[in-house]
Amino acid sequence: MSVRRSRPSRASLMIACLLACLPACTAAVAGCGAGQAGQQTLSAVTIAAQPQLSVPVTSSAGTWAVVPMGTSGTNLFWELFLRPAGTARWALVTPPGVADNGGLVAAVGGGLSLTAGFRPSQHLSFSPLAATADGGRSWSALPGVLPGGFAADPDALAAGPGGRLLGLTAADGGTLYSSADGGGRWTELIVAPSLASEPAAQACRVSALTAVTVTASGTPLAGAACGRPGAAGIFSFARSSWQPAGPALPPSLHADTVRVLRLTTTQAGTAAVLAASANGGNYVVGAWARAGPPGSPGQHWTLTAPLATGTAQVLTAGPGPGGEIYVLLRSTGAGRLEMCQTPGSRWQCFPAVPSRTVTIVPGPAGQAEALAVHGSQLTVWAAAPGHHSWTAVQTIKVGIPYGSSG
């Protein structure tokens, strides 16, 4: 029987070539996996220095606080609580009718006790709004909606006199809308790229809009993140144009890029919290603006001393109801609360806040409340000035509608 044989020389050559390629191929395959793992590690180390939406605001009706409760995702619901003026007890007053898994933003002023906006979540891409004039006992839906939905900034909604509302969305790095009729109709006021191209904003090189407020005199103010070091991006809108209104930073921060974390107007005036960062470290600076002529608050800012935050994350920060600047920090251990009561005073460090504290409500004369959440339970802790501990003063059990949002 004759059998054809393959030529050994050619076969050997082919096998030798393939064998030579084998380690390279396997190394390439192994390398693919290693590269992906490396990318995941890199993306996981990003730290956002952006305060939560859980902040208190104060109106004539009392002090309001937005608090996230439940678990996570579609089982996390944002609740609104009110401590009526002159009382010490908090009560649940969340506006009904919308699943608020995306977050709530709230603003006082404009003649109503409080206006609340629902952030987009799941398939809802715009923001409905509600208002109450009776301390949250009843809510009415505002006729209009904010197109695009509120940005994830605690000062994305501001209310001013005469029913004026300002709303900030995340589109295009921040788009500011204005409503002159109490939320019935919204018109675009400015987008971040347009503001960045304004001559008045050249010194800041605006990269994003981060906060909005209306001064007591009715002047809209917008806070921004600046790309140019040493500039604080606060701008006022007067006579149909934007003007720089931000505070001048101390020389120690001239190399830092600054982001406006909070910008709000309380009964005590307009105040801001700025986050500054550079290679030298991270700082938080509080700023108060004395009420001045419209369009010129920048000339009257007073700054706190820079508070070095190191690698700690800013959980929440803001001007309190009385204008106190507070910052809640968290690093690896317990939360750390720092508060600066008045211009010229020093940062005061409070005892370690209770675990699961999500927001701080500064009180008069150095007092503070810490709102801590465990699932569906809110615990209110109080610390008096000079005390070295927090005391639980109230517990509220909230019926979270688990499972109703997806």
Query: For binding to other proteins (CB under 8 A), which residues are involved?
Result: 1-6, 11, 14-15, 18-19, 22-23, 25-27, 29-30, 32-34, 36-37, 69, 77-79, 91-102, 118, 121-126, 128, 130, 139-141, 143-145, 147, 184-185, 376, 396-406
Q: Three-state DSSP class for 51? A: coil
Single-letter amino acid, residue 272: A
Single-letter amino acid, residue 288: W
Residue 339 structure tokens? 């508060």
Q: Which residue, 125 or 197, has its beta carbon nearer to other proteins? A: 125
Q: Which residue, 193 or 401, has its beta carbon nearer to other proteins? A: 401
Number of neighbours of residue 49 by Cβ within 10 angstroms:
15
Q: Which residue, 121 or 277, has its beta carbon nearer to other proteins? A: 121
Rounded to the nearest whole angstrom, what is the least distance from the CB of residue 39 to other proteins in the complex?
11
Q: Which residue, 145 or 303, has its beta carbon nearer to other proteins? A: 145
Q: Which residue, 229 or 375, has its beta carbon nearer to other proteins? A: 375
CA distance 349 to 27: 55
Is 377 exposed, middle or buried (CB count within 10 Å of its CB: 0-12, 13-18, 19+)?
middle
Rounded to the nearest whole angstrom, what is the least distance from the CB of residue 73 to other proteins in the complex?
12
Rounded to the nearest whole angstrom, what is the least distance from the CB of residue 69 to other proteins in the complex?
8
DSSP state of 347: P
CA distance 146 to 158: 13
Rounded to the nearest whole angstrom, what is the least distance from the CB of residue 111 to other proteins in the complex?
20
Rounded to the nearest whole angstrom, what is the least distance from the CB of residue 156 to other proteins in the complex?
17
- CA-nearest of 169, 54, 52 to 119 is 169
Rounded to the nearest whole angstrom, what is the least distance from the CB of residue 29 to other proteins in the complex?
6
Q: Which residue, 130 or 327, has its beta carbon nearer to other proteins? A: 130
Rounded to the nearest whole angstrom, what is the least distance from the CB of residue 204 to other proteins in the complex?
33
Q: Please enumerate in sequence order all residues whose Cβ is within 8 A of that of 150, keeping only pairs 6 or more positions apart, or say none.
A: 103, 105, 117, 118, 119, 120, 127, 156, 157, 167, 168, 169
Answer for the pair 382, 88: CB distance below 8 angstroms, yes or no: no
Q: Which residue, 143 or 293, has its beta carbon nearer to other proteins? A: 143
Rounded to the nearest whole angstrom, what is the least distance from the CB of residue 19 to other proteins in the complex?
7
Q: Three-state DSSP class for 393? A: strand
| Rounded (10°) CA dihedral 387, 388, 393, 395 | 160
Q: Which residue, 280 or 406, has its beta carbon nearer to other proteins? A: 406
Cα distances (Å, whole numbers) of residue 331 to 15, 27, 47, 67, 213: 59, 40, 11, 21, 30
Q: Which residue, 102 or 306, has its beta carbon nearer to other proteins? A: 102
Q: Which residue, 93 or 112, has its beta carbon nearer to other proteins? A: 93
Q: Please enumerate in sequence order all residues whose Cβ is within 8 A of that of 77, keeping only pairs 6 or more positions apart, or say none.
A: 68, 69, 70, 94, 99, 100, 101, 400, 401, 405
Rounded to the nearest whole angstrom, what is the least distance from the CB of residue 405 to other proteins in the complex?
5
Q: Which residue, 67 or 108, has its beta carbon nearer to other proteins? A: 67
What is the residue-wise DSSP string for 150-168? Answer: B-SSTTSEEE-GGG-EEEE
Rounded to the nearest whole angstrom, what is the least distance from the CB of residue 260 to other proteins in the complex?
28
Rounded to the nearest whole angstrom, what is the least distance from the CB of residue 359 to other proteins in the complex?
16
The number of residues in the chain equals 406
CA distance 18 to 9: 14
Cα distances (Å, whole numbers) of residue 128 to 95, 105, 148, 278: 11, 11, 10, 38
